[in-house]
Structure 1
Amino acid sequence: MPRSTDPGCLEPAWSIPGVTAFTSTRSGGHSAPPWDSFNLGTHVGDTPENVAANRALLQQRLPGGARVQWLEQVHGNVVVRATGEGVPKADACWSEAPGIACTVMTADCLPVLFARRDGRAVAAAHAGWRGLLSGVLENTIVAMATPPEQLCAWMGPAIGPLAFEVGEEVRQAFLARGGDATAFTPGTASGRHMANLYALARQRLLACGVKQIAGGEYCTYRQSELFFSYRRNGQTGRMASLILINP
């Protein structure tokens, strides 16, 4: 289980030397409804002043001198090297440099944090169903240039299998690319299915050779006191999932 270090973040329950990793929750920030209160997204209609104040709070939770690598996420599979500068268009980033926080934002999609067991490389991936289907996790593993058996992966808070309903076309697309049919259960109507993002991601990670996989306990849709959910609320905030090698 993840552990909570303060009301505004959750940490993976792993022990990797010299690595800081956590996911923010919706609590502990400055934003008013419907972004209440720890919204970190600049693109969701919140005031720039509140987002800046929330990002300043986020910075305080990082080791001194750390820089956050923000991304312009597009539900794709592009992976970039994190530098802490600019806002590249990508859905994952990685780093071997201390002090650069690989970061993705979510509000139902699945954040996956990666680390080498020796703490010498880290990565963060944004895996909605489109990115998951198009290989964002596989591309992240390739970019890290690390034998998969030396990687740990943590699946942060995402929409759970009792809340994520998709059409038959989504199910068929995953099955055509090796997805396990057990990740889908009958939905609310004919041709509708409940999809388990955690199970689909775990299948892909295992297929790549990643054996140490944790997380998958939460549902952003159902746990409204903890998490933002786009599918639940429409206009809402964004959580951030970050991982870095300590400076």
Structure 2
Amino acid sequence: MSTRAGGVSDGVFASLNLGSAVGDDPLAVTENRRRYATALGGTPVFLRQVHGVRAVRLPLAELNDAAPEADACWTTTPGVACVIQVADCLPVLFAAPDGRGVAAAHAGWRGLSAGVLEATAKALCEATGCTAAELEAWLGPCIGPRQFEVGADVLAGFGVTPGSPHPRFVPCAVGKWRADLAGLARDRLAAFGLERIDGGIWCTVEDDLRFFSFRRDRPLHGNSGRMAAAIWIERG
């Protein structure tokens, strides 16, 4: 998981911004991605994330340089790094037993409520012949439960009726709730059968020294940098 440190970007993008479509200097982003790739044990593959549920297999069958439109990816090929970019949404990394496969998913509330984590776990289980209980999942930094204010549309996305008590939605104003994104992800993963779930304890909004945050930075700067979480199978 990258942080803000270690790159060459300036201003709101300082310094290791990995997002290529946020308004940063393209040359700086290229250098930042080069540094990120050097730090990994595999070749990173970035996605064009759209808050959906599509999970693609890496490496891609089609031979082109365009980033695939998807919000999750998985691989059984050593040396290929599944990468998810975030700046408040939740990155979730998966590992099958014995290094048979890995996966990564982008879980904002829309994708999470639509089933992106279940789709990713299902694809990895089918590819590696394991059960959901054998998978391990790691939740990265995201907007925390003290900062994620949402409206009734988000509750509806998770099948929650306003006024009904729910452990992941705490009322904070008229028509507003504070949502626990990482907690919702844990619930979805556990319901799918995962037993080993770790992480999800860092808030991007509250830790401005380490993390980019779109919700925190957009009011003052119009945008924010992007971090990335990656997982790969080491080459033998």
| Same-fold status (TM-score > 0.5) | yes
Residue 237 of structure 1: CA displacement?
0.4
Q: Residues of 2 paired with 1:216 and 1:68: CA distance?
A: 22
Partner of 1:243: 231
Which of 47, 50, 62 lines up with 1:74 in the alignment? 50
Contact 1:69 1:103 (C-alpha < 8 Å) held by counterparts:
yes
Partner of 2:86: 106
Which of 191, 194, 213 lines up with 1:229 in the alignment? 213
Moved over 3 A (4+): none
Query: Alpha-carbon deviations, 1:56-103, whole Å to 9, x = none?
Result: 11111122xx32111000011110002166410000000000010000
Which of 186, 196, 202 lines up with 1:218 in the alignment? 202
The 5 Å alignment of 1:167-246 reads 167-176=151-160, 181-187=166-172, 189-234=173-218, 235-246=223-234
Partner of 2:141: 157
Which of 40, 43, 64 lines up with 2:18 in the alignment? 40
- Report the structure, 1 or 2, having the larger helix content: 2
Q: Residues of 1 paired with 2:112 and 2:10: CA distance?
A: 32
Query: Alpha-carbon deviations, 1:132-173, whole Å to 9, x = none?
Result: 000000000111113101100000000000000000221132
Which of 56, 67, 82 lines up with 2:34 in the alignment? 56
Partner of 1:11: none
Partner of 1:16: none
Residue 176 of structure 1: CA displacement?
4.8
Question: Could you list the runs of 5+ residues in structure 1 that have no partner in the other structure?
Answer: 1-22
Q: Residues of 2 paired with 1:38 and 1:217: CA distance?
A: 22
Query: Alpha-carbon deviations, 1:3-32, whole Å to 9, x = none?
Result: xxxxxxxxxxxxxxxxxxxx1001111000
Q: Residues of 2 paired with 1:42 and 1:143: CA distance?
A: 28
Q: Residues of 1 paired with 2:80 and 2:107: CA distance?
A: 21
Q: Residues of 2 paired with 1:61 and 1:173: CA distance?
A: 37
Partner of 1:140: 120
Q: Residues of 1 paired with 2:28 and 2:78: CA distance?
A: 29
Give the CA RMSD over aligned residues. 1.4
Partner of 1:118: 98
Q: Residues of 1 paired with 2:150 and 2:187: CA distance?
A: 18
Instruction: Report the count of equivalent residues.
Output: 220
Note if 1:87 corresponds to 2:63. Answer: no
Q: Residues of 2 paired with 1:201 and 1:134: CA distance?
A: 12
Q: Residues of 2 paired with 1:86 and 1:149: CA distance?
A: 34
Q: Residues of 2 paired with 1:139 and 1:174: CA distance?
A: 16
Residue 118 of structure 1: CA displacement?
1.5
Contact 2:110 2:157 (C-alpha < 8 Å) held by counterparts:
no
Q: Residues of 2 paired with 1:176 and 1:193: CA distance?
A: 12
The AA in structure 1 aligned to 2:140 is: G
When normalised by structure 2's length, the TM-score is 0.90
When normalised by structure 1's length, the TM-score is 0.86
